Amino acid sequence: MIADSLLCLPRAARPGSFGALMSLYESNYIRLGWLLPEPCGIDGARVSAPPDDLPLHMLLVDRSRYTTTVRLTYYFDECGERVADPDLLVRIYHDALMAEAMACTRHHRHAALKEFDTRPGAELSRRWTRNVMLNKWLEYCVDKGHRFFPSSEDIAIS
């Protein structure tokens, strides 16, 4: 399932660099395509609920000619309150074939995700961290059987 393994980082691109970040966006687009084969066909809210994982929620936030923005999250019940975590806002660039994790909730249930808040002025580092997390989470979701289909009921593939 490593279809994006053919993506080669340019020689000058090193992890954490702007060039490597653009390659990561390309990889995110490929992985998002495994989860959401037709991003232009999604509308409203969708839920994918395979038997071996929590329901994954996708909400269409915005759509324009060249982009689609969705929110991806799991919901947990904490003290009777519904908590989204992780809660990622993802912009899909249809013309550039890229997907970027634009924002992530500031309050995480998991210690590893609490590292997202970095010092001021470290925007490249924040983008890198968010998008590596998105990349790994997308692969995890697909491995668990999540899929979103635009015109029919979302089903889990075992």
pLDDT tens-digit map of 79-128: 888 888 789 999 999 999 999 999 876 554 455 555 555 455 677 888 88
Give me the percent of the chain exceeding a pLDDT of 90: 47
Mean of pLDDT values over 41-65? 91
The pTM of the whole model exceeds 0.85? no
pLDDT at 20 over 50: yes
Q: How far apart are CA 25 and CA 95, in angstroms?
A: 13
With tokens 């015109």, the residue in question is 151
∠ CA 10-68-7, nearest 5°, is: 20
∠ CA 86-38-43, nearest 5°, is: 65
Please state the separation of Cα 65 from the chain's center in Å: 20
> Quick check: 75 and 84 in contact, CB under 8 A?
yes
Give CA torsion, residues 58, 106, 66, 7, to 10 deg: -90
